[in-house]
Structure 1
Amino acid sequence: MEKVFLTGVTGFIGSELAKKLSEEYEVYGLVRTTSNKSSLDPIKDILNKIEIKYGNLTDFAAIKKIIKDISPHYIIHVGAATAVRHSFDNPLEFQETNHGATVNLIHAALELPEFKKFIFASTSKKSQCPLKRI
């Protein structure tokens, strides 16, 4: 069975994806180490069908180890800081949580021999890419 590593598994999109994906894939969901038990409520009905991993997306060494141990075929990245107000109050933390975490996941995935696809969900606010070549 193919493996999926899913960030944001306890969020609105992530929990629904986990429910659907667990029907056909081996699902590993990432939950923040700082989360409390009630954060698992959105996925309580499928906790017996998926495996929860605890970690912080900004900790590259920890994420790299989790990814290496699982060796997923797919990474679906829907975990993020989503409150736009937070981006103004704490811009560096917001940048590290969203951009840095994505970079960490991509670099960890590049070392997997059987990796197939990285799927990323963007935020509700976006801007044009400043570089014409991208």
Structure 2
Amino acid sequence: MKKVLVTGGAGFVGSHLCEQLTHSYEVYSLDNYFTGSERNHVDKVNYIKGDTAEISELISFVPDLVFHLGEYSRVEQSFEDIELVWEYNKRGTFSVLQFCRKHEVKLVYAGSSTKFGDGGLGKFQSPYGWSKASNTELVECYSEWFGLDYAIVYFYNVYGRREISQGKYATLIALFTEKMRSNLPLTVVSPGTQVRNFTHVDDIVNGLVLVGEKGHGDGFGIGSNEAFTVKEVAELFGGEIEMLPERKGNRMSAEVITEKTRALGWEPTHSLNDYISDMKDRNWS
């Protein structure tokens, strides 16, 4: 059985990816548990604790494929966490690239759709956005310089089971769900007209696995065509809305680029509206 390494395998998306991969591969996770959790562990996955910067010391085998999801992944918080952004997204990813280069392993790199935000300006709007966009360039350079086999994917606002629901790293759908359960106002960062394409984690994982098996090169977006403003999402939940001041790095829109992923046979199958309606029926109707 082929071996697959998932960095960030104890995180939200990574844990779902690991779970899906166990059906066809021997799966290993490398995670430092910065936002990952042992609660996300799934059966048949081999968990290794540590930073991606130490991948060569921590991984004693040669995988057939590496999915690199283990980076810092918040926009607004990245201004105050810039040292972590550098450590995890620059130093860590350089080490992963060196590991894949040395062992001639295909790399699937999880880029960020912030790269396409606001007509391409998104990659300059935050330390996170810049680090991710510049990393996609570095991955491409490793292909040109050293013949690295790679594919770059882009997620669009992932939601679903195991999202982080509390603290400054909480994601929007989980945060709104938690506030509704606690009968608290839904906090919307002004102006509230920021457009997002929310994509269910199962659709993300299906795309990831497909790209891992068949994709080569850049441009594999994995995102739903359904677009909502943040305020519209709050209105779908139906709670009281509290507007917050604007924040740095908060892009207004991002182009959804899915043509190459769809050409491999991928299609989104989940709807945010249905997901929220189901939660409302089960939790607070």
**TM-score, with structure 2 as normaliser:** 0.39
1:35 Cα deviation after fit: 7.6
Q: How far, CA to CA, are the matches of 1:89 and 1:120 in structure 2?
A: 25
2:40 maps to: 42
Call closer, same or farther: CA 1:34–1:8 in 2, change over 3 Å. closer
1:66 maps to: 58
8 A contact 2:31–2:70 mirrored in 1: no
Between 1 and 2, higher relative CO (CA 8 Å, sep ≥ 6) is seen in 1
2:27 maps to: 27
Q: After the TM superposition, which residues 85-124 of structure 1 pair with which residues of structure 2 at under 5 Å, given as runs?
A: 85-112=76-103, 115-124=104-113
1:88 Cα deviation after fit: 0.7
Q: How far, CA to CA, are the matches of 1:116 and 1:108 in structure 2?
A: 8
8 A contact 1:8–1:31 mirrored in 2: yes
CA deviation string 1:60-89 (max 9, x = no partner): xx311223x121111101111112123211
Show structure 2 runs of 5+ residues with no match.
Answer: 116-122, 125-132, 142-285
Show structure 1 runs of 5+ residues with no match.
Answer: none
1:102 Cα deviation after fit: 1.2
1:34 Cα deviation after fit: 6.5
Q: How far, CA to CA, are the matches of 2:34 and 2:87 in structure 1?
A: 16
2:67 maps to: 76
8 A contact 1:86–1:94 mirrored in 2: no
1:54 maps to: 49
2:159 maps to: none
8 A contact 1:78–1:121 mirrored in 2: yes
8 A contact 2:72–2:84 mirrored in 1: no
Q: How far, CA to CA, are the matches of 1:28 and 1:43 in structure 2?
A: 11
**TM-score, with structure 1 as normaliser:** 0.77
Call closer, same or farther: CA 1:3–1:101 in 2, change over 3 Å. same
1:124 Cα deviation after fit: 4.5
Specify the code of the residue in structure 1 equivalent to 2:84. Answer: E
Call closer, same or farther: CA 1:8–1:86 in 2, change over 3 Å. same
CA RMSD after TM alignment: 2.6
Which entry has the higher C-alpha Rg, 1 or 2?
A: 2
